[in-house]
Structure 1
Amino acid sequence: MSSSNVLEFTPAQSDIANAFFSNKLSFETDCSDVYADIKSGNNDYLLLDVRSAEAYEKSHAVTALSMPHATITQESFAQFDKQTMFVVYCWGPGCNGATKAAKKISALGFAVKEMIGGIHYWEDFERYPVNRHQVSAQV
């Protein structure tokens, strides 16, 4: 009789699992939730594409602003009120640029979430609208 690979480690107690998943959702969102907000006119946060300016110009999520993660500094964020909330994304699951950006943004004292899946899931899997070949709206 074979043992279960899934159950090799006992599942967490429900209260511990609930705390874990609640915390996880405070750090991330997904393309579907961001697009639903865009469609409903919810603009309680700024969506930042943290890839290179060149990648942004080729294709970026509608409403996204370009802010390559290497340019995120105290000076570049001085223009924002501390109450501004950000959602950041990069290429996709194989890229940690959004995580680097979120780390920098949170260190500057701003609320931030990472959009999991990045532009790859946004454009290729969900087929949500993108803007292409426009002059970069540098923040």
Structure 2
Amino acid sequence: MSLPATPAAVVSHVLAFPAPTPEQSCDYMAAKLSYHADAWDVAEDLRNGIEAIVVIDTRSAAHYAAGHVPGAVSFPHRTMDAQSTAQLDRSKVYVTYCDGIGCNGSTKGAYKLARLGFQVKEMLGGLDFWIRDGQPVATGPEPGRMPAARPAIECAC
């Protein structure tokens, strides 16, 4: 009679690289939150009339007119330079967005603005995640206004 074979040592794919210390995690997560905002938080700030942020749609004017975050300014990243940004208020934080995770227009816009000396954040998931959160969409060439009413869907985070 033979004994059952002992199983091979199980290797953790998650722990193949050691987890950071709590302090390292805290520093990293704080830095990550400094660079990004999610659609829900942006919507709440727009609803609450927070004037310290300006939301920028970095897509083309045609895409903006087809549907955008209410209150967002159309400023295609391809047109951003020292001259086109000269009138922007340097005391504001500019939150850029584009179509979604398959588009890097918001990253390009944030990069260009930061390079020109502006404080920026990028809205995670762009207009796609905005719509998934049940937030309203404005159409046409004007920014529109964020309605005071919250969507029936509540943020799950």
TM-score (norm 1): 0.92
**What's the counterpart of residue 31 of structure 1?**
39
Secondary structure in structure 2 of the residue aligned to 1:26: helix
Give the alignment partner of residue 78 of structure 1, picking from 72, 86, 91.
86
In 2, Cα distance between equivalents of 1:7 and 1:21: 19
Q: Percent identity?
A: 38
More helix by share: 1
Matched ranges for 1:1-139 at <5 A: 1-123=9-131, 125-132=132-139, 134-136=140-142
Please state whether the residue corresponding to 2:96 is helix, strand or coil.
strand
**Deviation, structure 1 residue 75:** 0.7
Q: Which is richer in strand?
A: 1
Aligned residues: CA RMSD:
1.2
Number of matched pairs: 135
- Secondary structure at the aligned position of 2:37 is classed as strand
Is there any run of 5+ residues in structure 1 with no aligned partner, and where?
Answer: none
Gapped runs of 5+ residues in structure 2?
A: 1-8, 144-157
Q: Larger radius of gyration, structure 1 or 2?
A: 2
Instruction: Say whether the 8 Å CA contact 2:52–2:91 is kept in structure 1.
Output: no
Q: Specify the code of the residue in structure 1 equivalent to 2:90.
A: K
Deviation at 1:8, TM superposition (A): 1.7
Secondary structure of the equivalent of 1:24?
Answer: helix
